Amino acid sequence: MKEKNHERIDHIQPCRWISEQGILNTEFFENALSRPTITIQSTPRAYGHFSLREDTWLSKLGATHELNLGAGTLARPIENVAATLLHEMVHLYCYENDIKDTSRGFTYHNKRFKTAAESHGLIVAHHEKYGWSITSPSDALLDFVLETGLTDILIFRNEYSGISVSGTGTHSSGGTGPALTKKSSSRKYVCPCCKNSVRATKLVNISCLDCQIPMLEV
């Protein structure tokens, strides 16, 4: 029984970084954001959402906004899950700084959102219907994921095998389709001498031309 319990903990352990939203707040927002309540629940047709209401969650510590990650989308490469959380944090940043970043019922992401997202660790592309809503990890976020040792989440809700879920999402990331169990492809190589680094999406043999020595994967 003990071995089974440890195995279960190992599967859930990577989810714990989500509750530590503060590490992204510190790295990309200089710890300026208020602390929201982060949830993992179904967000149909989206990777996540941000709640505009300041009292979405209530506790003895006070009222908070909600940042949600779609329960069925957790089994993506960890850098993409982190990008989704960062996407929703950008909405929180815009809300707290009186930046009108969306329109059309909070679904269309305008150029103000694009500017804010690109300033806080994301690459932004345009969606025909939802505007500048397609976000992916920047080099800075990829480096952060590698340096902090964040690992892929090994548990997600099966929402694509006849399981019916309901609910609505605001400020969606525009994601659709089933969750994929593809592992993170990011690798970082560092020169042990000068500490210069490069990133690759596959296993490679690479050397530092300045120091004339092989670079090491970290």
| Residues 121 and 215 reside in one and the same domain | no
**170 and 128 part of one domain:** yes
Residue 5 has pLDDT above 80, yes or no: no
**Same structural domain, 17 and 115:** yes
- CA-to-CA distance for 134 and 175, rounded, in angstroms? 8
Q: Are residues 120 and 201 in the same domain?
A: no
Instruction: Summarize pLDDT for 116-151 with one digit per residue, the tens.
Output: 999 999 999 999 999 999 999 999 999 888 888 777
Q: Are residues 164 and 65 in the same domain?
A: yes
Verify that 21 and 125 share a domain, yes or no: yes
Give per-residue pLDDT as tens, 85-119: 999 999 999 999 999 999 988 889 999 999 999 99
The tokens describing 168, both together, are 């609505």
Rounded to whole angstroms, what are the CA distances from 17 to 50, 82, 124, 148, 152? 18, 10, 24, 10, 11
State residue 74's pLDDT score.
85
Q: Quick one: 118 and 202 in the same domain?
A: no
Taking a C-beta distance cutoff of 8 angstroms, is the pair 81, 153 a contact? yes
Residue 153 has pLDDT above 70, yes or no: yes
Residue 71 and residue 149 share a domain: yes
Q: Which residues pair with 59 in a beta bridge?
A: 62
Which pLDDT tens digit goes with each residue over 166-214?
332 333 333 333 444 445 566 778 888 898 888 776 677 888 888 888 8
Mean pLDDT over 22-38 rounds to 90
CB atoms within 10 A of CB 143: 16
Read off the pLDDT of residues 45-59 as tens digits, 9 standing for 90 and up.
788 999 988 988 888
Q: Which has the minimum average pLDDT: 3-7, 63-67, 143-147, 192-196? A: 3-7
Q: Which pLDDT score is estimated for 18?
A: 56
Count: domains in the chain: 2
Could you list the residue range(s) of the whole structural domain that residue 191 is in?
186-218
What phi and psi values does residue 172 have, to the nearest 5 degrees?
-70, 155
Query: Looking at the structure, do residues 143 and 206 belong to the same domain, yes or no?
Result: no
Mean pLDDT of 27-37: 91
pLDDT of amino acid 2: 43
Per-residue pLDDT averaged across 30-43, rounded? Answer: 88
- Read off the pLDDT of residues 9-23 as tens digits, 9 standing for 90 and up: 344 444 455 555 688
What's the CA gap between 113 and 158, in Å, rounded?
A: 31
Q: Are 158 and 212 contained in the same domain?
A: no
How many other CB atoms are there within 10 angstroms of residue 74's CB atom? 22
Residues 134 and 218 in one domain: no
Residues 136 and 213 in one domain: no
Q: What average pLDDT does range 160-168 have in this prediction?
A: 37
Q: Cα–Cα distance between 40 and 69 in angstroms, integer? A: 5
